[in-house]
Structure 1
Amino acid sequence: MSLIIAYIGKKGCVMAADKRRIGYFGDKENLELLENELYNGSILNDDDFLDRASELGISVKITDDASKLKTVGNCIRGEVSTKGTMETKRRRIYGTTNGYQIIELLGSQTQSRNAGKSGIIIFGNNFAKQLAQNLISKRLKGFKSLRYMGEVFEDILREVSSKTPTVGKNFDVLMQQPNYDDSEAQKHLNLTIDHDIKVLTKFRQDLTEQLVQQKIDIEMANKIIDEGSIGHVVKIDGNMLLIKLNDKTQALKSDGTWKQVAAPGQNVLMFTKSADVELGDEVVIENEDLCLKKDKSSLDCDIILCSL
């Protein structure tokens, strides 16, 4: 759902891209049918797209705020991506003066990497690419300036967007003009791309750790006891009580690490304001309040009480 047009030459690099992103959900066969109609040019505009999706029972979300271009070092990076069930596929072009590289990634793993010196590169579905190529051949007659190329590319994106909903009506245009020869360009591209992929790898690792932690948080949160028996009093020292946990209750740290501090059958410290506490008194949680069962007098602790 993208169209990126890049020019790389002796004077620098310019890229233009739309900002559309489309998410849709529904029956697999109907999704494939809808995609085929989108990519062969049968669906001409957003209204027709939404109507056809509705006919096929497909839920659609269209946004036009996705940034597909980024300045990285003295390069411009353009990216199109497809999210699969397990991994995200990315196709990137990095361009600078006198050089470019095209990278294909699965997750953060490089699947292919090809270099070039100059030219016009187009990323997009076949229908949008063909439209763009035809317009470029008509409108560009030799190099004029990067600014002029960027304006032409933006006009082409605008015209293509009027003929297919796979391309949005908002655009970004970026230019870079460092002073590199062929060799210097590829050296800079190699350093920039290697670092950029390392950043992506670190981002994915951090994201994976966050998702794992979120899963743990959800699982443990579901185990927090909000009703039921906890244990009984085995020692009294002023307002401090030692509570022996029953065989279904464990105590965990309250600092977010979910580290166990007491297993079932072990003792934990609690505090009371009641003067009427006796050995053997049962400790319970009722209506999410920790208290003595006999008189509902409140207890305090700095742990989280969870079931096994």
Structure 2
Amino acid sequence: MSLIMTYVGSKGCVMAGDKRSIGFLGDKNQREVLEEDLYSGKIQTTDELLKRADELDINLKITDNGEKIRNLGEVLVGEVKVRATHETKRKRIYATTNGFHQVELTGSQINKMQSGKSSIVIFGNKITKEIANKRLKKYWKSKISLVEVGEIFQKVMEDVAQATPSVSPEYDIFIIHPQLEHKQAMELLRTTILSDVKELEKWREKLRQEMLAKSRDIQMASKIITQGEVGRVKKAEGDKVEVILSEGVEALNMDWEVLARAGDSVIMKLEQASPLNIGDLVVIEDENLCVKKNKAALSCDIILCKAD
């Protein structure tokens, strides 16, 4: 679903990348049929893609706001992703004047690295690479400036977008020209890759923690009491009501930490003045916290949950 083209030469580096992302939702076998039709070039327009997806009962999510290439100052980075069952595989190119590294990662682990001094490198699916190579041969000149390379890349991106819906009409393009010898370029790329992969590792760990937190939120939310007995009034002074929690009830804070268990007291607030007696039953009815005998509304800054 991508086209990223990179030119690496002795005067600088040019990189162009499209912005399209396509999500395929549906039966695995049918998805594979649709992807094969798309990436082999059988499907040539967005209308044809949508029609074929409908025939195969596949839902598509198409967006054109992806950032597949980045400018890190003296280094350009391009990335394509392949989503596997349990991991995301990434193929990246780090490029600068007089050097580039192609890196394959699983998660944040580097599996393979290939290096070079000067080249044109194309990332894409079967049809995008095929069309891009033909167009590059058509437009290329023997002597060429970085600006001219950029102009050729723009033409190629536009041509490919007209030939397949796997590439967006919109694209990003960067040109850099740091003065570096090959040895300097290799060292710069090495340190950049190490730093960039470390950032990826940090991002993945943060994402993992967020997912764990969300999972815990979902799990804990199922324990929140929405109906039933909470406790009994122990003491009431003004609008402050002390309640002893009933068996099987516990009070948690917003971080799901236990503050009080069955038999412990918690403080609640009486929303409107109402006569209360020691021993009055406090309940939640239709998700409303109240005193059962007169429905006097109560509030609290804790979460009342079923105990494990």
2:261 counterpart (236, 257, 263)? 263
User: 1: distance between equivalents of 2:241 and 2:181?
Assistant: 77
- Which aligned segments of 4 or more residues in structure 1 are displaced greater than 6 angstroms? none
* RMSD of equivalent CA atoms: 1.7
Give the distance between the partners of 1:244 and 1:200, measured in 2 at CA: 49
For residues 133-182 of structure 1, the C-alpha deviation after alignment (integer angstroms, 9 at most, x for no partner) is: 12222321324111100110111121122222222211111011111101
Q: Alpha carbons of 1:301 and 1:50: their partners in 2 closer, same or farther (altered >3 Å)? A: closer
Structure 1 equivalent of residue 19 of structure 2: 19
Q: Which amino acid aligns with 1:80?
A: V
Aligned to 2:157: 157
The answer to whether structure 1 residue 252 and structure 2 residue 252 are counterparts is yes
Q: Contact between 1:73 and 1:192, CA under 8 Å: does it hold in 2?
A: no
Moved more, 259-268 or 284-293: 284-293
CA distance in 2, matches of 1:302, 1:166: 51
For the residue of structure 1 that corresponds to 2:53, the secondary structure is helix
* Counterpart contact for 2:18–2:169, Cα < 8 Å: yes
Contact 1:229/1:285, CA 8 A, preserved across alignment: yes
2:289 aligns with 290
- Mean Cα displacement is larger for which, 218-227 or 141-150? 218-227
Q: Distance in 2 between matches of 1:138 and 1:221?
A: 61
Would you say the 8 A contact 1:136–1:156 is kept in 2? yes
Q: Deviations along 1:3-62, whole A, 9 cap, x unmatched?
A: 111000110000111111111111211111111112222112211111111111111122
* Structure 1 gaps, min length 5: none
Structure 1's 271 and 49: CA in aligned 2 closer, same or farther, altered over 3 A?
closer
Alignment partners' CA distance in 1, 2:67 and 2:238: 63
Q: CA deviation at 1:238?
A: 5.8
User: Residue deviations 1:188-218, cap 9 Å, x none?
Assistant: 1111111111111111111111111112222
Question: Number of residues paired by the alignment?
Answer: 306
Corresponding position of 2:102: 102
With normalisation by structure 1, the TM-score equals 0.94
Is 2:268–2:298's contact at 8 Å kept on the other side of the alignment?
yes
> 8 Å contact 2:274–2:296 — kept in the other structure?
no
- Alignment partner, residue 86 of structure 1: 86
Please say which of residues 209-218 and 115-124 is displaced more in the overlay. Answer: 209-218
1:197-252 Cα distance to aligned partner (Å, 9 max, x none): 11111111111111111122222223222322101123455654332211121101
- TM-score, normalised with respect to structure 2: 0.94
Q: Determine helix, strand or coil for the equivalent of 1:283.
A: strand
Question: Which residue is 1:277 aligned to?
Answer: 276
